[in-house]
Structure 1
C-alpha cells in the first residue's frame, strides 16, 4: 500500500456482506465511507457514514463529497447494495420492478459514474460490483427473473466499463455470489439453501470478502465476473 492511506466506498454497508467488506477494509488500513438507508454514525474516525436511498442521485453526490472532503481520494468503490425478491415473473408488481431497478441498477449508474470521474483524475482506481450467480445459472426452485434482469445488466456493464477504462488506470470487476449466510436468510432455511449448491453448503460472508480483496489487489485483472457460488455457475447438480 502506498504511503497515503487508501479510501474505499461501500454501499449497503450496514449489515451482511457490506458490513463484512467494511470491516475488512478497516483491517487492511483503508479509510471507508459507508452508506445505506439505516447506517448509524461510526465511533471509528476512519469510517464516515452517509445515510440515504442508494437509488437517488443526491445520495451518490453526498457520498463522494464526503469522501473527498474528509479523505481526499477514492481508491475503491464496492457496489454492494442490492435487493432480492423471489417470485414468479407474472407476480411482480410495477412497484417491485421500480424498486429493483432503483436499488440494483440506478444506484450502480450514479455511484459508478461519480467514481470513474474521481478515479480518472487520480489515474487509478477500482470498481467492484456484487451481482448474483442466478444470472448465469437460473434455478426453477428460485424464480427470480428481476434479479437476473438487473444484476445481469451489472455484469454486462462491468465488462463494457472495463474495456472503456482499460487504459486509464481504472479496473472494473464483479463478484457473483451464490446464496450467502446473511440476515436475509432465516436459519431454518439454511439446509434447503445449502442443497442448491453443488458443494452442498451456503457461502459465508468471508468468502465474498476474500473475493473482493483478491480482485482489489489483482492489478492485471479487469472485466472479470468472479463466481463465488459453490459451483452453481459451472452447471447443474443432481441430488
Structure 2
C-alpha cells in the first residue's frame, strides 16, 4: 500500500526577480538566484524536524538545486549550502539577451527559522555537489483483496481458531518490516482480529490494514486516515475485533 509522502518532490516555480541589485542583467540574475534560494528554504520549512541528511536529500530532490554542504543544526534540522541559477535580461535595446549566473546560499532549516527568512549568500565550496542514496522503501502491505482471500471463512455457528488465522497470515509471506498483530479479546467472544502496520519513512499517519474474522463473515479494511494518526486507535487490535465508528 502506497501513500503520498508528507514532503512531495516539486519543481520550483519560476521566480520573477524584483531588481534589488539595480538595472544590470547581472544584478537581475543575482536577484533571481536569491529569490529561487528563498523558495527552496520555504519548500523545506516543514522538514525542520528531520535529520540533517534528510533535509539535504529533500533539497537535492528539488529541480535545479545542487547541495554542496550539509551540517546538523541543533537537536533537529540542518544548515545547508545550495547552489542555484538565476537569469536576468539586459535592458533596452538588448532586452532579448539574457545572463545566467550560479550563486550559493546557506539555508537554515530548523524549528527556530522563520518561514520568510532571507537566505545568506556565501562563497560556493570548491567541491562537487553531494549525492544521496535512494530513499528507503516502505514495506508494502498486501491488498485488502489478497488478505481477504487468505484468511479463514467461518460459517455462522462455527468456531474461529486463532491458530488458523495466524497460519493464514504467515502464509502471506509478509515483509519483515510489517508489524503483525493477531489476537482476541474476552469481551468480544469468538472473534479474532488481525492488524498489519507499517510506519512510513515520511508522514504522520500509519499505514495499516485490519481484519476481523468472525463466525458468518471475514471483513478486511483500511481505517480512515484520521483513525491512523498516532493515538487514534485505528491500527490497534481493538479496532479489528470491535471496530471504531466512522469519523464524523
- The normalised TM-score by structure 1 is 0.23
Q: Over alpha carbons, which structure has the higher Rg?
A: 2
Q: Return the structure number with greater relative CO, CA threshold 8 A, min gap 6.
A: 1
- The normalised TM-score by structure 2 is 0.22
Name whichever structure is richer in strand by fraction. 2
Name whichever structure is richer in helix by fraction. 1
